[in-house]
Amino acid sequence: MAKKALCIGINDYPGTQSDLTGCVNDAHDWAGILEARQFEVHKLLDAQATKAEMERAIGGLIAGAKPGDTLVITYSGHGTWVPDTSGDEADGRDEGLCPHDIRTSGALLDDEIHALFSQRRERVRILLLSDSCHSGSVIRGDESDLDEGGPRARFLPLEAWMPADQLPRGILRPGALFGGLARVGGELLLAGCMDTEYSWDTQFHGRPNGAFTYYAIKTLKNLPSDATYEQWYRKIRDYLPSTRLPQNPQIMGSAQARRFRIFQ
């Protein structure tokens, strides 16, 4: 049984005035965690993470997996949305990941990701960890690791990347990634926030990271080797949401998948 992972981190979004700081660190951090657990890891960072390359890497990872294999895909970068044209979205939006070349290629939409995930064979486990996206306001959580200064939302509004003559009419509502990715067909999704919130790009002890990624890794290091995804999720919720990081991490998958041992 093979264990393979793809870690995507994008700080650089040319022409959008919306660069981030912690996403490449997130990808390196996830890669280190997964390599220590005997995963074969491939990374796509900044300019490597074009839409075409993201599609190729995700599709190849899934298409090549055999029954019994475990796949992990981590994504740190902006999330966005476009108006739904197929009528399959209750909120009228298709959510998507933002590749490095989004201004020329467009977003990698949830419908496109679903098509890639549909190649999954039976008994192939897929975990998708998404640290992107939209804001709630709950005051709790331990912020002792968080540096002073304002976090930045990992959401890229349409006007930052879409030509003005293509923008939809009316109010451009913020959008999130969780709702769309929850339907792409993976076995388990861990996301940084609810569909009505943002995930935050910030700094801990002088080093940029995504808040969800930072606390996911921090709590993972203190869990027993037989811990489940559900137990991990509950530990992350000890830290998020907090006063300056008003995001509620989410877990979606079957009861059976939530009880799987982490990265097994």
Catalytic residues: 78, 133
Q: Give, in order, the Cα–Cα distances in Å from 50 to each of 17, 71, 99, 115.
A: 18, 21, 5, 18
| Cα gap 61→246, rounded to integer Å | 33
Which amino acid does the sequence have at 43? Answer: K
Query: From edge to edge, which strands make up the β-sheet containing 250-253?
Result: 40-45, 3-9, 70-76, 125-131, 188-191, 250-253
| Cα gap 3→39, rounded to integer Å | 5
- Name the E strands within 119-199: 125-131, 152-153, 188-191
Cβ-contact 219, 40 below 8 angstroms? no
Length of the chain: 264
Query: From edge to edge, which strands make up the β-sheet containing 207-210?
Result: 152-153, 200-204, 207-210
| Cα gap 190→209, rounded to integer Å | 17
The dihedrals phi and psi of 210, each to the nearest 5 degrees, come to -75, 140
Cβ-contact 29, 41 below 8 angstroms? no
Strand 79-83, strand 250-253: pairing: unpaired
